[in-house]
Structures are given as C-alpha cells and as structure tokens.
Amino acid sequence: MKQRILLGTVAALTMSAGTVLAGTLDDVMAKGHLQCGTNTGLVGFAAPDENGVWEGFDVAYCRALAAAIFGDPMAVKFTPLTGKTRFTALASGEIDVLSRNTTWTFSRDVDLKQTFVGINYYDGQGFMAKKSLGVSSAHELGGASVCIQTGTTTELNLADFFRSNGMEYDPIPIETNAEAREQFFADACDVYTTDRSGLAATRASHEDPDSLVVLPEIVSKEPLGPLVRHGDDQWADIARWVLNALVSAEELGITAANAMEMAEGTNNPEINRLLGSEGNFGEMIGLPGDWAVHAIMARGNYEEIFEAYIGVNTPIGLVRGVNALWTDGGLIYSPPFR
C-alpha cells in the first residue's frame, strides 16, 4: 500500500515536472487560450461579475496578455487559486501565468523558482477592525485574535510584527477571503490582516463599510505583481513587456480609445516603436506586430485599469498614492521601449 501511494505521488510529480520544460508560448498558442491563475474572489482585483465574466485589476492584466498573444482579450481562462495552491499550480504547468496579488520576495523568486515579471501594485500589510472594538493602532492589539490567510507572506509578517513588539496574539488561519469575512464579521476574530488593498476590497464589499476601520500601521512591504515559471525566458519577456506596455501607455497618453488611431503613426518615435508602426518589436518578442495595441485596447492602460477596478471612483476607493507614475511622484515606472 505504502509503495502504491508513493508511486502515485511520484508519478503525479513526474508528469507535472515534465510539462514545465516545453516552450510556454508554443503551448499557449497550441491550446488557443491563456490559462491565468487568479484570486478565488477579491472584489476589484479578481471576481466574476454578474454575467460570470472574471473582471478586476489582476484579471485585466491577463486579458491584456491574452490580447497581446491572440488579439482577443477573452482568449483566457481563469483558475481561481488560494494562497496555498497558487505556486504549485504555476510550477506544475496548470496555469501559464499567475496574476493573484502575489508578493515578490527573495525566497519565492529564488527558492520557489518563479520569475516575477514586474510590480503592478505597491502594497503593505495592514489590519482591519470593527470600529466598535475601539482600537486605533496596531500596537494596541496585544492578545487579539487575528484572522489571516495561510500560505501568504502576511502570515510571516504577522509573526514578526507581534514578536518584535513583544505582544501575544492568537492566529486564526483561514484559506480564502470569504472564510476570513465570515469569521471576522461574526467576531470570531478581532482583526483581519492582509494587504491593505485587499482590506479595502473586503471593506468595500461590506454592507456598512463605515463600521470598519483600517488601522494606520503598515507592517510590511508587499510589492505585488504577476509571475511565471523559472526557465522560460521568452515567456517571461512577453509577460514582463506586456505589463511595461500598459505602464508606458499611461505615460505616453495611449488609451484604449486612441490606441488604434495612434498605431497608424505619430510624431513620437517611442509610441511608434511600442505600437508597432516603427521597428519590429513584435517579431523580436515572438508576437504579432500590433501586440501592444491589442494589449492596451483590452482593458486600457495602467491608469484606466486602476481607475476602473480599484480607483477612488470605485467602491474599493484606493488612491494612486505610491502607485502613481514616477512622473507624478509615484513608483510605477517602465523601462523604455527602445
């Protein structure tokens, strides 16, 4: 019996390991769609809308990537993943790209053998509590029960934060955002901790957002971004430069509405190179010449995506802050298309 179980495990791992080595772009082309790993449901970042179509900040990136490859933003299928299952899904080849508010860390990049292709949201871990709890600072949380998603960096930051501040706490590990909400709203835990963007999303989906308060402390750096497997540089390049194209598009004033028009040629050589009317960037990266046009037209440039799904005019209500363009004093920055 033991051997049989062992065999099964080994066989499963062998098969999964085998698929890793093929060229991802060829695989995706052969499949006819992109397989994208997302959150199991986080309003604003990745959630199905009323028609069952996945939409959100993280989803929009996958739509842009699919559009760059196929010219069709809908040529993408989504695999909802928990914090625990996401890396295994990527490593095993179940998904082609993971766009699930994932923090870029040393060990994930180096030891888990992932390639982060950029940062699309600079975040930090925070705490959310009910206003009725009467807490105004994370330093008052000694002895509290803390709901936390397992398999995330927040789990480790939380341990470090309470340890370094000499406070006790009671960790309540949960799998998904939905479970966290259930426990938090029923007072089974006093505070819920995750990235502040995620807290804002959870708060926005509550019937009375004003009864919840996000504490001011930011206890960690959480640079979030899409990632792919180690070992396929061409695929990593595609994923990286689609993200850069969206950022550059904002900087250069290219929007979903005017991209097609600008693609016919402008006075700005960088726009021309990006949109394919000059040079052969598409050929270099292994995509059609108008890849960036389709990527931008999928859900707009970085600013349009941000404002449509998580910006101040949405229920999530996040301000650009450090996520503004570098030209506006933020950290969002794309290397040049040259």
The pattern of x and - marking residues 49 through 78 that bind other proteins according to CB under 8 A reads ------------------------------
Q: Looking at beta carbons only, is 223 or 282 nearer to other proteins?
A: 223
Does residue 112 interact with other proteins by CB under 8 A?
yes
Does residue 87 interact with other proteins by CB under 8 A?
yes
In the complex, minimum distance from the CB of residue 197 to other proteins, in angstroms, rounded to a whole number: 21
Q: Looking at beta carbons only, is 17 or 322 nearer to other proteins?
A: 17
The one segment of 120-128, 175-183, 239-247, 321-329 that binds other proteins by CB under 8 A: 175-183
Residue of 131, 163, 211, 253 that binds other proteins (CB under 8 A): 163
Q: Looking at beta carbons only, is 41 or 151 nearer to other proteins?
A: 151
Residues 132-161 that bind other proteins (CB under 8 A): 133, 141-145, 150-151, 155-156, 158-160
Does residue 170 interact with other proteins by CB under 8 A?
yes
- Over the chain, what HEC string results? CHHHHHHHHHHHHHHHHHHHCCCHHHHHHHHCCEEEEEECCECCCEEECCCCCEECHHHHHHHHHHHHHHCCCCCEEEEEECCCCHHHHHHCCCCCEEEEEEECCHHHHHCCCEEECCCCEEECEEEEEEHHHCCCCHHHCCCCEEEEECCCHHHHHHHHHHHHCCCCCEEEEECCHHHHHHHHHCCCCCEEEEEHHHHHHHHHCCCCHHHEEECCCCCCCEEEEEEEECCCHHHHHHHHHHHHHHHHHHHHCCCCCCHHHHCCCCCCHHHHHHHCCCCCHHHHHCCCCCHHHHHHHHHCCHHHHHHHHCCCCCCCCCCCHHHCEHHHCCCECCCCCC
Does residue 2 interact with other proteins by CB under 8 A?
yes
The binding site for other proteins (CB under 8 A) comprises 2-3, 5-7, 9-11, 13-14, 17-18, 20-21, 83-84, 87-88, 91, 107-108, 111-113, 133, 141-145, 150-151, 155-156, 158-160, 162-163, 169-175, 179, 182-183, 186-190, 230-231
